[in-house]
Chains A and B, each alone.
Chain A
Amino acid sequence: MSSTETGPGGQAHGSVQEYVKGLILSIILTVIPFYLVMTGTGSDTFVVIAIVIAAIAQILVQMVFFLHMNGSSGQTWLTASAVYTVFIVLFVIVGSLWIFEHLNHNMLMGH
């Protein structure tokens, strides 16, 4: 991270165009899942997958356009810690679901 001109949180030199791009993409990625759920378009599986993809895409959009993260060599530690976080978050959420799923399954006596 040292002495690059960009850092997390827009400490450095984003531009109006960058923020506007981020805003427009975010609006599009918000409207799509809301539209699908509110109108009941498509099967449940399709809608859930669409929600997940739109959410991940919007998180990436905001990291790039609002937080100015770009994976450049000046941001090595930033990128490394972000990737590490993604893994820990996945372990916590997927791991919890996996454990409780098995727990529920094994506790269903006589069913």
Chain B
Amino acid sequence: MTALTNDHDLHDHDDHHHHEAEAADRYMFGFWLYIISDCLLFATLFATYAVMGQNFDNQITPNELFDLGFVAVETALLLLSSFTFGMAMLGANVENMAKMKFWLIITALLGLSFLGMEIYEFVHFSHEGATPQTSGYWTSFYSLVATHGLHVTAGLIWMSLLFVHFNRDGFTNENKIRLACLSLFWHFLDIIWICVFSFVYLRGAM
């Protein structure tokens, strides 16, 4: 604390931006630590999936159900949405509200389409006889993939709340930090999806 105060006295009072940037960095680092703990949550789910990988209990197996073309479209939607969020961030950096909103809406639509496809897939799998109760394998499959889906849902809700914030207050410091945190969260979800399509779908379809 003393170090901080000294720092404040030594440097100037006019450099307001410097302090705002430092505060933003601190918030971002805090959120980054949350992302790390979320990584560990997914690590345990992937570990469970790997351990349960062959426990089919003579029931339906993934290679009978997985449709890689379908998964490829899901992957494309999520990857594109990660890119369009980047475009929204570029809009936010120059405080261009129209540009930011345009790309954020595209991102939300891509995210919604992804979620719709995932729900459709779960319903389809259940009809084919693969429910979370079917076998150890399917329990771990649904736990892992649905946890990712719930994160995407949370991201979409967060995105709509940010719209309200930006409409009300514009480009305030708080709103910019919120948007940067959501951006980190959204890119993180795409990185988790890389592991899901590689180790669950591609490996499971072989």
Contacts and interface: CB of A to CB of B under 8 A. Distances in A.
Please classify the interface of chain B as helix (H, G, I), strand (E, B), loop, or mixed, using the class held by over half of its residues. helix
Interface in B33-50: 33, 35-36, 39-40, 43-44, 46-48, 50
Contact of A1 (B25, B76, B205): B25
A97 B47 contact: yes
A9 B202 CA distance: 28
Given A33-B198, A66-B86, A11 B183 contact: yes
Interface residues of A, number: 51
User: Which of B25, B48, B79, B206: most chain A Cβ within 10 A?
Assistant: B25
A55 B40 contact: no
A72 interface: no
B180 A7 contact: yes
Contact of B180 (A11, A33, A93): A11
Contact of B79 (A1, A30, A78): A30
B187 A9 contact: yes
Given A62-B82, A78-B32, A93-B43, A14 B50 contact: no
Interface in A36-83: 37-38, 44, 47-48, 51-52, 54-55, 58-59, 62-63, 66-67, 77-78, 81-82
Contact of A62 (B89, B183, B190): B190
Q: Which 7 A-B pairs have the closest CB atoms?
A: A9-B184, A11-B180, A96-B47, A55-B198, A10-B89, A19-B86, A9-B183
Given A12-B93, A93-B50, 4 more contacts: A7-B25, A9-B28, A11-B89, A59-B195
